[in-house]
Amino acid sequence: NAGVTQTPKFQVLKTGQSMTLQCAQDMNHNSMYWYRQDPGMGLRLIYYSASEGTTDKGEVPNGYNVSRLNKREFSLRLESAAPSQTSVYFCASSETGRGNTEAFFGQGTRLTVV
């Protein structure tokens, strides 16, 4: 059972470079999320997608874009990376509209921008 799969696991970028973080889930969930985790800050929501074809901003969307390519895949793009974007990024998915369902998380992508 794959669950939520993120790639890559580790990445080092130079300031100004671009990259896309990939996320795929095989649980047929409607909702998908991108979070970043910084020391002492917990998880902060970057963007989310409640269903295929829709995306919405979370708490900290600046500097990021997302694409809900289909029901399975939700990618996060950094167009021009900055050192402030050094963080661990987590993708998650859940079923929408059912208040007692859990979210499933990927293993995370550790991104360093130098």
Q: Which residues bind other proteins (CB under 8 A)?
A: 4, 31, 33, 35, 40-43, 45, 48, 50, 56, 58, 90, 92, 94, 96-100, 102-103, 105-108
Tokens 């998880």 correspond to 43
Strands 10-13 and 109-113: parallel
Shortest Cβ distance from residue 91 to other proteins (Å)?
9
**Alpha-carbon torsion 68, 74, 78, 83, what sign?**
positive
Distance between CA 66 and CA 87 in Å, rounded? 17
Shortest Cβ distance from residue 27 to other proteins (Å)?
13
Which CB, 17 or 51, lies closer to other proteins? Answer: 51
Shortest Cβ distance from residue 80 to other proteins (Å)?
26
**Alpha-carbon torsion 38, 41, 46, 52, what sign?**
positive
Which CB, 40 or 53, lies closer to other proteins? Answer: 40
Find the farthest-apart pair of alpha carbons in the chain and give their distance in angstroms, rounded.
Answer: 42
Which CB, 28 or 102, lies closer to other proteins? Answer: 102
Which CB, 38 or 79, lies closer to other proteins? Answer: 38
Give the distance from CA 36 to its chain's centroid: 8
